[in-house]
A and B are shown apart, each in its own frame.
Chain A
Amino acid sequence: MSYTNAAFVTQPSGNNRSARWAGILRGKKRRPLEWLAEKGIFLVSLSAILMVFLIFLFVGREALPIFLGRMDSSVAIKVIQPDQMASLSREELQAYLELSDDEFAGMDEETLTLMMEVKLEEAAEAPEDKDASVNTTEWKYLLQPHQWTGYDKPEHIWQPVSEIHKYNIIPLLIGSLKATLVALLFAVPLSLAAAIYVSQLASPRVKEWLKPAIEMLAGIPSVVLGFFALLVMATVLQKVFGYDSRLNAFVAGVALGLAIVPVVFSIAEDALTSVPRSYTQAALALGSSKWQAAWRIVLPAALPGVFAAVVLGFGRAIGETMIVLMASGNASIVSWDLFESARTITATIAAELAETVFGDHHYRMLFMLGTLLFAVTFVSNLAADLIIHRLKKQLEGRT
């Protein structure tokens, strides 16, 4: 058949070339070096899988005590009266006095009794708050509202720096979702429309420079977008919408939207372009306009890909750190008001990890948030990947 017809058919992306090629190469002679190199290359190629696995393992490992409920953040010290010393086993006593093996072995009965009394005094000085004995890292306190001392009603509070560490993650989840929601509402319509325009309506010459121009947005570092949101956009948007707090979920969301426009655009444009040209041509031949062909024929065919683009955009937006850290105001409050300050999961990790002590409950709590974040993006990436793969296979199969 002619060259022209072949060009209409989308080339299958998986090339049969290498499969065929492998056949030629298994020569008559065995080549141990060749074999070794091939295995070496194969092993290195597994590094991407290894890295995903290691990320899960090592971020999750630091958070494991929280998931297993092995962490105790209660401030109050358990008290044992000195006269009950005899009833304790040696191990229990050693753990209670927090002594190392050597220290414990070198102490006689009298010193130990003295230490128990010191311990008792310490306990008397500890805050006399009913919340002091609460282990705030339990899941109950992470998710459900709790009436802390000094509050009128049960509330969700993330406040890890006070004497009693309050680790309720609900305000952070709401903050992240709020900013992500604004970002999606802003970016998805804009980038989908641009994707339709660039892939279906623009002339090839315009398309050639439009695509890289929009993708240039991806070249702006997120810290620069955060800076721009903080200094310029916050002021402009406040003037236009007239809300009170200058930095809020809305400003952060719009800047976040700018960060995900290139992601949503590229994936959607790719999906729309992968719809065979013959579809459009059939529609045009039947008398439809270019827009009708794009809207009624190409878009429905590429819909799973467009959906995948939105899912990936969601994953990117919820995981973005610097923009929300700089522009969202960072107050952890439970409010769905978009024009109020918000503290996201990512910003919390970035802002608080430097203050924590290696291995303590605050440190582990932040890793727990990181694990949650990784799990959410892992699932959304995986879903998008499967959708796109199926779509491409389907479209190629039909031609």
Chain B
Amino acid sequence: MTDPSRAPERFRSRGFDAASFFFSGVTGIATAIILGILAIILLNITWHGWDGISLRFIVSGTDQDMFDVNKAGVLPMIVGTSARVILMTIFVIPVGVITAIHLTEYANPVSIHTRIIRGAVNNLAGVPSIVFGLFGLGFFIGFVGGEMDALFYPDSDEPVWGKPAILWASMTLAVMTLPVVIVATEESLKAIAPGLREASLALGATKLQTVAKVVLPQALPGILTGGILSISRAAGEVAPILFTGAAYYMSGYPTRPTDQFMDLGYHVFILSTQSPNIEQTRPILYATVLVLLLLTFTLNIVAVLVRAKMRRGMRQSH
């Protein structure tokens, strides 16, 4: 008996139990239903969206009348969404990684304040996205931006910082995706063999040196996964950016942190609810959804693959 996971197979019961067969079947069917619905959604969107996607659609901007099938493009939205998630990673990765380092490397795992930090991380993961939107408006725009205006531009009537902007949207999303980065990084830190740390310490390295030069490079794939997962989560979120920076329409691209931006997810919302004629808008709507889905799913699949590879490596090293 070399593989412990095979052990139960040896104790299989001899008699045929109809109830067992039936209920096992029911659970199997439930699993199949979930996968079936997932497949239907993905196929439906791919099927209808494929025709709408052309090079012109990807690389051109949209007109003031964004419901015109022949003129609509999604480049401003792709740029806006990419810019806000990249800006977000700049804020969230350092904080998330350092928190994970504290939790795995420094903190006493059973102490009360470690429990509180973990509780806060879990809680943050469950806060509704619209509440993050309100928070972004109340804290970043109203408080931080408002105070900055009062400090730097006391004479200006128009708010400079205290208005919706790509900077505040990114910061709001960074707060929202903090748990994703923490959990992914922690997982990769735990997967590193303790022997490596001990070897480094035995050679006279300090704890900080060990963390910075031995542990962190090893954890890089995990940190990468965390970053990718947070981007994929944030890229599709609309509720937190509704009041913190997304624009219904703008003619140019965001160039300063105080500019607003157009967003793929918000554009999907606009196209599906504000269109004067939904039948005519349908092709560009489906195409936009497909672009958004391709963006988030590609990222998701990359994250899953990196993580699977990491787990396999971890299993071998034990």
Which A residues are closer than 8 A to B by beta carbons? 4, 7-8, 14-19, 21-22, 24-25, 27, 31, 33-34, 37-38, 41-42, 44-49, 51-52, 54-55, 58-59, 61-62, 189-191, 193-194, 196-198, 201, 204, 210, 212-214, 216-217, 219-228, 230-232, 258, 261, 265, 277, 280-281, 284-285, 287-292, 295, 312, 315-316, 318-322, 325-326, 346, 349-350, 353-354, 358, 366-367, 370, 373-374, 377-378, 380-382, 384-385, 389
Contact = CB atoms under 8 A, between A and B. Distances in A.
Contact of B236 (A33, A198, A221, A312): A221
A18 B24 contact: no
Nearest to B5: A204
B122 to A, nearest CB: 5
Contact of A227 (B14, B35, B178, B272): B272
B203 interface: no
B126 A312 contact: yes
A179 to B, nearest CB: 13
Contacts of A287: 13-14
B287 to A, nearest CB: 12
Given A16-B109, A194-B31, 9 more contacts: A41-B102, A44-B102, A55-B127, A58-B138, A220-B236, A292-B20, A322-B269, A353-B134, A353-B242
Contacts of B14: 287
A47 B123 CA distance: 13
Contact of A45 (B98, B127, B207): B98
16 contacts: A14-B110, A42-B106, A44-B98, A45-B99, A45-B117, A48-B117, A54-B139, A58-B138, A58-B142, A223-B238, A227-B285, A281-B7, A287-B13, A292-B20, A315-B128, A346-B128
Interface string B67-111: 000000000000000000000000000110011011111111110
A259 to B, nearest CB: 11
A45 B107 contact: yes
Which size bracket describes the interface of B in this complex? 35 or more
A296 B260 CA distance: 56
A17 B124 contact: no
B232 interface: yes
| Prevailing SS type, chain A contact patch | helix
Contact of A284 (B13, B95, B102): B13
B224 to A, nearest CB: 17
A217 B34 contact: yes
B30 A189 contact: yes
Contact of A201 (B24, B139, B237): B24
A315 to B, nearest CB: 5
B116 A322 contact: no
B103 A45 contact: yes
Given A25-B201, A48-B179, A217-B34, A367 B128 contact: no
B160 interface: no
